[in-house]
């Protein structure tokens, strides 16, 4: 039996209103926050991003320089940087492979409401944006509570309303105190039922030793704009 390998840690990237916890309205984001979008890009680029089919529809195209993994019970067409999967297990399988090959020890769950729930027990880090505004038409919510006994705040910064951002907001990076660790046997990748090419299998086997030694990834918060 091969040695178990630690798989990438799972993070949420989410923006919600405070205190109502709205994340969407009619399958769109209810605010325009350019600074936060730039932060979203900086945190997710180069990573596997896992999203629900409705969020994918809302974005309208695969996000560039990321492996877009779309969870849906329906069939969909795979493409460059785009993979459709039917359940959480398959999403993690492809996200793990992509992360190992690209030497990323974190994979990102980017919503929406249903998909955040699917991964709730595995999440170790949260890139949380709290938007200070009221969005009475909101129809998608993220109600997860981050109890200080279970979560610590690594970083936090406030941003004023500005030319780029229609509402004031706060970005926090939260980390679970007792992390959930996922491991796989390398043979999982080699004998899996999922169809992956021999080339891909070889890539995984060759990359695992360096992947295991990766330090934890750090992300810098953006500098606030002047109000």
Ligand X SMILES: NC(=O)c1ccc[n+]([C@@H]2O[C@H](COP(=O)([O-])OP(=O)(O)OC[C@H]3O[C@@H](n4cnc5c(N)ncnc54)[C@H](OP(=O)(O)O)[C@@H]3O)[C@@H](O)[C@H]2O)c1
Q: Find the distance separating the first CA and the last CA of the chain, reported in whole Å.
A: 59
**Of the two residues 132 and 203, which places its CB atom closer to ligand X in the complex?**
132
Closest to ligand X by CB, 55 vs 204, is 55
- HSE-CB at 222 with a 13 A cutoff on CA atoms is 23
4 versus 79: smaller Cβ distance to ligand X: 79
Q: Are strands 169-176 and 123-131 parallel, antiparallel or unpaired?
A: antiparallel
Q: Find the shortest distance in angstroms from Cβ 211 to ligand X.
A: 27
**Shortest distance (Å) from residue 218 CB to ligand X:** 21
Helix (H, G, I), strand (E, B) or coil at 139: coil
Shortest Å, Cβ 188 to ligand X: 20
Q: How far is the CB of 46 from ligand X (least distance, A)?
A: 19
Sign of the Cα torsion 213, 71, 222, 160 reads negative
Report the C-alpha gap between 86 and 153 in whole angstroms: 33
Q: Please say which residue, 203 or 219, places its beta carbon nearer to ligand X.
A: 219
Contact residues for ligand X (CB under 6 A)?
Answer: 14-15, 23-24, 27-29, 51-55, 58, 71-74, 86-87, 110-115, 118, 140
């Amino acid at each position: 039996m091969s040695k178990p390998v630690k798989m990438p840690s799972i993070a949420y990237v989410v923006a919600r209103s405070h205190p109502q916890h709205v994340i969407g309205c009619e399958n769109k984001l209810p605010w325009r926050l350019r600074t936060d979008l730039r932060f979203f890009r900086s945190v997710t680029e180069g990573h596997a991003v896992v999203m629900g089919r409705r969020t994918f529809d809302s974005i309208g195209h695969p996000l560039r320089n990321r492996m877009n993994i779309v969870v849906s019970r329906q069939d969909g067409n795979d493409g460059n940087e785009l993979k459709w999967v039917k359940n959480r297990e398959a999403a993690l399988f492809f996200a793990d492979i992509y992360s190992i090959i690209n030497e990323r020890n974190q994979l990102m769950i980017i919503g929406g409401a249903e998909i955040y729930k699917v991964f709730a027990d595995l999440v170790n880090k949260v890139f949380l944006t709290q938007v200070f505004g009221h969005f009475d038409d909101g129809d998608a919510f993220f109600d997860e509570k981050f109890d200080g006994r279970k979560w610590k705040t690594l970083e936090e910064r406030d941003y004023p309303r500005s030319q780029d951002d229609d509402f004031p907001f706060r970005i926090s990076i939260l980390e679970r105190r007792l992390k959930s660790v996922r491991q796989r046997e390398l043979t999982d990748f080699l004998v899996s039922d999922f169809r992956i090419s021999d080339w891909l299998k070889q890539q995984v086997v060759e990359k695992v030793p360096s992947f295991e030694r990766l330090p934890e990834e750090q992300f810098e918060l953006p500098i606030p704009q002047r109000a």
